[in-house]
Structures are given as C-alpha cells and as structure tokens.
Amino acid sequence: MANPFENLTHALSRLPGIGRRSAERVALALVRKGDEVMLPLLEALADVRENVCACRLCGSITTRQDNPCRFCSDTRRDHALLCVVEDPGDIMAIERSGAFTGVYHALHGRISPMAASGPEDIRLAELRRRLEGGAFREVVLALATDVEGDATAAYIAETLSACHVTVTRLAFGLPADSGIGYSDPVTLKRAISGRQSL
C-alpha cells in the first residue's frame, strides 16, 4: 500500500517552484497543523476546481461567471492593443507594472522542440482568429528572452505578417534567459515603454 505522506510529498513536488525538500516541508506542515490548515486548503482547492477557468477570449484565469475576464470586459482598456504572453501568470506581472492598458492573449506555452511543443500545441490558432475578427493596430509580444521565447516570437511575427498589424516586442529591461513572471514592476514598465518593431 502506498504511503499517504509520500503521495502528498510527490504531488506537491510536481508544482512549479517546489522541489522535493520544499514539498516535504509543506507536507510536514500540513500534517502538523492538521485540520486547521488542511480544511481551508481543501475548500480552496475544491472552489478553484469548480469555479475557475480560462477566459474564452484571452486565456487568462477567471471565474465561470466572469467569462470573458475583467481585462476583456473592461471598456476603459485599449482594445486595439494586444499583448501576447506565454502564461496567464505573466498577465498578472504586467498588470503589477501599471504600464499596459490594452488587452491580453495567453498562449499557454511556447514553441519548444526540446519539450515536443510545436505551434499547434499553444493558442496560436485562437490568436489568429482574434486578429482576423478584431480591429487591432498593434500586437506586443511579451515573451521570455531565451532561445525558445525568441523562436516563438519569430514564428508569431512571421505568422502575423499578413494580418496588417504592427508587431512589437518588449525591448529594454528584461534580462536574457528570463521570463516575464520573474521580473519586477519597474523593469516591466521600462520594457513595455521601450518595445520595438520586429
């Protein structure tokens, strides 16, 4: 019979940013604190499972009753300016910078031959549909500055060349081999302000 503590540790270690030792510490804390910590956690997980989903337009995280999400529904945002990110977490990071007032599109991944992830494995078809159906004047590619991020940006720029839209990419401020979610708000603000055409 499988050890429940080991099962919990293994499940926790599969989460991003949590290694084996951190997973063990979290599992120990859950066991020590018992129902005081576990019950609210179980309730929160059940609530997320039941009520949280991806926005049907941009792919960001929202609730089932607020779909499209608050960014897509906000009439004060610039709906002709579209920011493409790899992950919904990147949207949160950009929002914290306060520098972007357009709408978003989360790819839910990137082109990565090492991970066997091609253009058909990310939300590129949805991006093309949005551009065909919308009145966008600019698409900002807010992707990581590593090899895979560069390859994804180049592929998107090539794909969108026939859409008659200006394609830009974040420029200054983002360190090489880093993702959007790891950047501070000031760095992101400078990167958005200094974006360049591809």
Cα of 192 vs its chain's centroid, Å: 16
Is there a single domain that holds both residue 43 and residue 122? no
What is the per-residue pLDDT for 146? Answer: 82
What is the per-residue pLDDT for 189? Answer: 80
Is there a single domain that holds both residue 90 and residue 164? yes
Is there a single domain that holds both residue 117 and residue 190? yes
Can you say whether the dihedral through the CA atoms of 75, 168, 61, 93 is positive or negative? negative
Domain count of the fold of the chain? 2
Domain that holds residue 101: 61-197
In which order are the strands placed within the sheet that holds 102-106? Answer: 102-106, 78-85, 138-142, 166-169, 196-197
Output the domain CATH number for residue 18: 1.10.8.420
What is the per-residue pLDDT for 186? Answer: 74
Determine contact, residues 162/194, Cβ cutoff 8 Å. no
Residues of the chain with pLDDT under 70: 1, 134, 171-176
Following CA atoms 73, 75, 77, 81 in sequence, which dihedral angle do they give, to the nearest 10 degrees? 80
Is there a single domain that holds both residue 24 and residue 118? no
Is there a single domain that holds both residue 31 and residue 124? no
C-alpha angle with apex 110: 90 to 120, nearest 5 degrees?
130
Give which of 195, 197, 182, 194 is closest to 96, Cα–Cα.
182
Residue where a domain stops, chosen among 35, 53, 71: 53
Q: Which pTM value belongs to this model?
A: 0.80
